[in-house]
Chains A and B, each alone.
Chain A
């Protein structure tokens, strides 16, 4: 048996994992990053539009601060998030972006003087002050009070990923790609690393570490229509689930992005609408103001996606061989703007659809339709990023349910979360690795390795009639049809039943090549059962949750039910022989919230079943705020009195802004 020992093991080499690895390496821990693919190819690279951080540099973001970012994030989450974590996040985001600037991310900068912009489909002149020249610029995104999304054209994730990956190389982090974690090594509720398969040689090895950090991204590929990369299969969440100890949180909270292009599903960034692009129907009519008079195209993603489908159901979709779609019109922004700030979008439209979106009029409109985009759910953690149940297992980025997104994530908050969680969780993770030793016997490690070895032999020996690719396709179609944007109890129950059948069928396949090396079908054969377990957590969680909150929308339970459902779904898989997950719930405590539940400010009104504590807590918040304001206390002191939070390193210090100087 080959055992690799290190202090800190990071599984997943996207933005979150790499940033956490840098944190560990900087604390002089021997740190290994394992990645399915060369790390610069991770799905983080596909983030286009930008990263939210309340710098408040540009004209349209002037006056922005942590409080506004916090409020937007909580409203966006439909009050499903952990407010303490949201606070930790908004307070660290400005530091994260400034750190990245120092690491070479070429953020688009403020240019003094006047420029033309399109706001609400009208040309408007914006003038930037001279004292802001050269500071980091920001653009508008959905669900935000200020223009807060910082960017590098529409390749933000790419430049961030290269910046952080290069920094990891600079600090000599040991990065090993084409490695896949098959299971976690654990004993007495503590995690000690992973059993890993080399995707080139097929060899199994053990990685034993003082602490393990999962940063493997989301589970979008359990759906058919998704913007996610083909590697986003939720395997990180699945191997945590398969410990029988760790829990997953809010797996039913799945975001559908309004504007992937049809039919390829490649994302056209929210920056298209943030920069002034609009949605049109079959008649060329701009319909969003009819539904959302205030926020229009820039309501939160869950709301815009539902309105688009609603409008299509009203007969206003554009027919095509791939079903009905909506038009995205960015031609009104002008060719110059598109060729500078939305260049990848233009390329995607040209290459995959033969459309130049800068062409004026209908010719330049791109066909779009909401598709799966982001996984709010993930491995449930404490605010430090450590699993609530499995000690020594940390999780950051999309793989986690940390939980700053609740039931809907705001655009620009995901790449932001990756690096911010990489900093915060990465440092707590490093501290854990400093203070805890490896105390696991090699015999136990061998047992975990043998289990995976035997499992692969078993798979190769299956001689059933089923086909693993067909099972996977059926799962994906099922998730789209019955666990998608609009959900109801009947179809969710059907989905759970059929997914369970599919999970059983994964043992009745026949892998054609019996090679253990370079055998893509074998890889599908051990991944798909794990994906099905994740899909079952999503579907069963959705079936049980009889309310509508954020992206989870039940047509048979239209209201957000704060009286009964202000909680977090926790799923676990106690026995390997189970065919369904076990569900429990974690209550959210209104009386400790800084912002008690209320109306989001967009979406349909009068759709909340109130919790009586909301009003009570609001009265307390108001009283404390008024009293402290009268005493001349500043916003930081008031916030601290309402809901204290702590951070590692110097991240708790105040953020300087040019407007305060």
Chain B
């Protein structure tokens, strides 16, 4: 953290408004001075306030917790809020919207719509035996290790980075994505969920589900939450392939 003048950086952004009749995809370069600890959140806010009030992007928590700001930074998908400019020695950053999602404008993509559809498809909720949970009574006991294991997989923030980095998704537009498979693994380990392996097979037992994954593993490489996607996808595949 120093207060001397920072280096000049260049942020190059792909701009395009698919709702406009005249807009065409094009890059715009913004030159600005780097400040200590500058992230892409700080840089993009500065660009909007001082250079281009028309630039669209999404941030909510700006702390790597909400998963809003996935974008492609120099060819790799990442959370913009956790991207430190100092980690780019050339000072040149090229930003593009994440592929695989519907483009809203510039760097803003509709991950919410995609994730909702995914959640409905894998029935991303507790399926219990239908008995009313009496909330005036003591809670059901859960082994602390099992609770921790469920939490480990529940840390997914639906940022879409795994989907944007997925090779299978490029070939199979309806692929449920690493995020969807992780979600199934999460409910599979949760003792409150009464679904069997057979039930999960019904949801993801095809080439757009667990058998589609080509194990290229860019998902795990880029996951900002470091979820154990490789292990969990392999585990689910072994478990489900054994059923047929």
- List residues of A whose CB falls within 8 A of some B CB: 37-43, 45-46, 55, 95-99, 101-104, 106-111, 133-137, 152-153, 155, 158-159, 162, 166-167, 169-170, 175, 177-178, 200-201, 229-231, 263-264, 266-267, 320-322, 344, 347-348, 351-353, 469, 473, 511-513, 515, 517-521, 524, 650, 653-658, 661
* Stretch from B25-33, B138-146, B169-177, B231-239 that touches the partner: B138-146
17 A–B pairs (Cβ distance < 8 Å), ordered by A:
A37-B66, A40-B66, A40-B157, A41-B66, A42-B66, A45-B157, A46-B66, A106-B150, A134-B144, A153-B151, A264-B63, A266-B63, A351-B64, A518-B104, A520-B54, A521-B48, A521-B53
Q: What separation, in Å, do the CA atoms of A469 and B55 have in the docked complex?
A: 14
Determine if A40 and B115 form an interchain contact, defined as CB atoms under 8 angstroms apart.
yes
Distance between Cα atoms of A363 and B233 in the complex (Å): 38
Q: Which 4 residue pairs of A and B lie closest in terms of their CB atoms, listed nearest first? A: A38-B112, A134-B141, A521-B53, A170-B125
In the complex, whether B222 has a CB less than 8 A from a CB of chain A is no
Known: A95-B135, A136-B139, A519-B54. A38 touches B115 (CB 8 A): yes
Indicate whether B230 reaches chain A with its CB closer than 8 angstroms.
Answer: no
- Please determine whether A104 and B193 come into contact, CB atoms closer than 8 angstroms: yes
In the complex, what residues of B have CB within 8 A of residue A45's CB? Answer: 61, 65-66, 157
B155 is an interface residue with CB less than 8 A from chain A? yes
Asked if B136 and A650 sit within 8 Å, CB to CB, the answer is: yes
Contacts of A469 in B (CB 8 A): 48-50, 53
Take A38-B116, A347-B64, A512-B54 as given contacts and tell me if A99 and B135 are in contact as well, using a CB distance cutoff of 8 Å: yes
Q: Which residue of A lies closest to B69 (CB)?
A: A41
Q: Which one of A101, A137, A351 lies within 8 Å of B192 (CB-CB)? A: A101
Q: How far is the CA of A520 from the CA of B15 in the complex (A)?
A: 14
Give, as a whole number of angstroms, the nearest-CB distance from A156 to chain B. 10
Task: Say whether B59 faces chain A, with CB atoms less than 8 Å apart.
Answer: yes
Chain A proximity mask over B46-90: 1 for CB below 8 Å, otherwise 0: 001110011110111111111110000000000000101000000
**Which of B2, B133, B190 touches A99 (beta carbons < 8 Å)?**
B133
Contact A169/B116 with A99-B135, A104-B125, A521-B53 known, Cβ cut-off 8 Å: yes
Which residues of chain A come closer than 8 Å to B133, judged between CB atoms?
Answer: 98-99, 102
How distant is the Cα of A473 from the Cα of B45 in the complex, in angstroms? 12
Q: Are B128 and A102 in contact (CB under 8 A)?
A: yes
Q: For residue A111, which residues in chain B have a CB less than 8 angstroms away from its CB?
A: 144
Q: Is the CB of A37 within 8 A of B1?
A: no
Q: A321, B3: Cβ atoms under 8 Å?
A: yes
The answer to whether B125 and A321 touch across the interface, beta carbons within 8 angstroms, is no
Q: How far apart sit A6 and B131, CA to CA, in the bound complex (Å)?
A: 29
B residues in contact with A344, CB < 8 Å: 65
Q: Does B147 reach chain A (CB closer than 8 Å)? A: yes
B53 and A520 form a contact (CB under 8 A): yes
Q: Assess whether A158 is in contact with B65, with CB atoms less than 8 Å apart.
A: yes
Residues in B1-60 with C-beta less than 8 Å from chain A: 1-3, 17, 19-20, 36-37, 39, 48-50, 53-56, 58-60
CB of B72, distance to nearest CB on chain A (Å): 19
Q: Does B137 contact A (CB under 8 A)?
A: yes
Q: How far is the CA of A230 from the CA of B138 in the complex (A)?
A: 39
Q: A231 contacts B60, CB within 8 Å?
A: yes
Within the assembled complex, what's the spacing in Å between the Cα atoms of A96 and B55?
A: 42
B37/A264 in contact, CB under 8 A:
yes
Q: B192: nearest residue on chain A (CB-CB)?
A: A104
**Chain B 104-116: CB-based contact to A (< 8 A → 1; otherwise 0):** 1110001111011
Number of A-B contacts (CB under 8 A): 216
Main secondary structure of the interface of A (DSSP, over half): loop
Q: Nearest CB to that of A525 among chain B residues?
A: B53
Are B36's CB and A321's CB within 8 A?
Answer: yes
Given A41-B68, A521-B54: A135 touches B62 (CB 8 Å cut-off): no
State whether B142 touches A230 (Cβ < 8 A): no
Most buried by A among B61, B125, B139: B139
CB B70 to nearest CB in A, in angstroms, measures 11
Q: Which of B169-189 contact A (CB under 8 A)?
A: 187
The reply to whether the CB of B154 lies closer than 8 angstroms to some CB of chain A is yes
Cβ contact of B147, chosen from A95, A106, A473, cutoff 8 A: A106
Which residues of B does A touch, CB under 8 Å?
A: 1-3, 17, 19-20, 36-37, 39, 48-50, 53-56, 58-68, 82, 84, 104-106, 110-113, 115-116, 119-120, 123-126, 128, 133, 135-144, 147-148, 150-151, 154-155, 157-158, 187, 190, 192-193
A43 touches B151 (CB 8 A): no
Residue numbers in A under 8 Å from B142 (CB-CB): 101, 106-107, 109, 134
Contact B139 A101 (CB under 8 A): yes
Whole-angstrom distance between the alpha carbons of A142 and B140 in the complex?
A: 28
- A353 touching B37, Cβ below 8 Å: yes
Q: Is the CB of A109 within 8 A of B144?
A: yes
**A40 — nearest CB in chain B belongs to which residue?**
B158
**Pair B141/A348 contact, Cβ less than 8 Å:** no
Is B192 a contact partner of A43 (Cβ separation < 8 A)?
no
The smallest beta-carbon distance between B73 and chain A, in angstroms, is: 14
Q: Which of A98, A229, A521 contacts B139 (CB 8 A)?
A: A98
Alpha-carbon gap, A178 to B113, bound state (A): 10
Complex CA–CA separation, A52 to B226 (angstroms): 29
CB of A301 to closest CB in B, whole Å = 19
- What are the residues of chain A within 8 A of B67 when measuring CB–CB? 40-41
What is the bound-complex CA distance between A263 and B1, given in angstroms? Answer: 10
CB pair B155–A135 under 8 Å, yes or no, is no
Complex Cα distance A109/B143, Å? 7
Collect the chain B residues with CB atoms within 8 Å of residue A656's CB: 136-138
Known: A41-B68, A513-B53. 16 other contacts (CB 8 A): A37-B68, A40-B157, A40-B158, A41-B66, A96-B135, A98-B135, A101-B139, A101-B142, A102-B126, A106-B154, A133-B141, A162-B154, A170-B125, A348-B64, A517-B19, A658-B138
Of B20, B64, B66, B136, the residue contacting A655 (CB under 8 A) is: B136
Which residues of A have CB within 8 Å of B48? Answer: 469, 520-521
Q: Is the pair A152, B62 in contact by a Cβ cutoff of 8 Å? A: no
Closest chain-B Cβ to A280's Cβ sits at a distance in Å of 19
Closest chain A CB from B130 CB (angstroms): 12
User: In the bound complex, how far is the Cα of B83 from the Cα of A352, in angstroms?
Assistant: 9
Pick the contact of B65 from A46, A104, A230 — CB < 8 Å? A46
Residues on the A chain within 8 Å of B17, using CB:
517-518
Contact of A518 among B56, B116, B143 (CB under 8 A): B56
Q: In the complex, A170→B135 CA distance in Å?
A: 19
Given A46-B61, A159-B151, answer yes or no on A518-B19 (Cβ-Cβ < 8 Å). yes
Contact yes or no, B1 A321, CB < 8 A: yes
The docked-state distance in angstroms from the alpha carbon of A374 to that of B63 is 17
Q: Which residues of B contact A104 (CB under 8 A)?
A: 125-126, 150, 154, 187, 190, 192-193
Task: Specify which chain A residues have a CB less than 8 angstroms from the CB of B64 in the assembled complex.
Answer: 347-348, 351
Please name all residues of chain B whose beta carbon is closer than 8 Å to the beta carbon of A521 when the two chains form the complex.
Answer: 48, 53-54
| Least CB separation from A263: chain B residue | B37
A655 to chain B: which residues have CB within 8 Å? 136
B108 nearest in chain A by CB position: A518
Pair B19/A201 contact, Cβ less than 8 Å = yes
- Asked if B61 and A229 sit within 8 Å, CB to CB, the answer is yes
